Copies of this chain bind each other. A is one copy, B any other.
């Protein structure tokens, strides 16, 4: 993909993970990349297009990364991914924040958030254990822990809330 297009997606991802869909504008993203908002529209016609594209890339990247590690290490891998994002720049899961805001989001964006959780929970679906719904429990813990660490302005909250996970 072209340099600029990727840079736009990068900037948008950062913006949404920080303040949500309603918390960024085309002008914000353009300024981050160093171009004008009209140029952003050239690559992604509408805010819906842009946001859905960011969410799809986000999902595909993370799912692929996690599929690269053995089953029994995947819960720890997800935990590390989110922990690092939180420690490095206080950002939470892109699709987590979209899920929270979903009542005021365009349908294609909600659909991408849904897809993320369907695929993500599947990466830690039960194979050997007795319990069902392991994936749902794990992601609920991770998403909630991120949200709380941000609300309480303390990254340690994430570690303490998820210490008992796989």
Could you tell me the distance in whole angstroms from the C-beta of A37 to the nearest C-beta in chain B? 18
Name A's B-contacting residues (CB within 8 A). Answer: 17-24, 90-92, 95-105, 110, 113-114, 116-118, 131-133, 136-137, 139-145, 147-148, 150-153, 157, 160-164
CB contacts (< 8 Å) of A148 on chain B: these are 99, 117, 136, 139-140, 143
Number of copies: 2
* Complex Cα–Cα for A161 and B91 (A): 23
Name the B residues within 8 Å of A161 (CB-CB): 133, 136-137, 139-140
Contact B19 A98 (CB under 8 A): no
CB pair B150–A147 under 8 Å, yes or no, is: no
Asked if B141 and A99 make an inter-chain contact with CB atoms under 8 angstroms apart, the answer reads: no
Give the residue name and chain of the B residue nearest to A17 (CB). B103
Compute how far the CA of A102 lies from the CA of B118 in the bound complex, rounded to whole angstroms. 26
- Kindly provide the distance from the CB of A23 to the nearest chain B CB, expressed in whole angstroms: 3
Complex Cα gap A148–B104 (Å): 16
- Taken together as a complex, chains A and B put the C-alpha atoms of A145 and B147 apart, in Å, by 12
Q: Are A98 and B151 in touch, CB under 8 angstroms? A: yes
Contact B136 A157 (CB under 8 A): yes
Minimum C-beta distance from A11 to chain B (A): 14
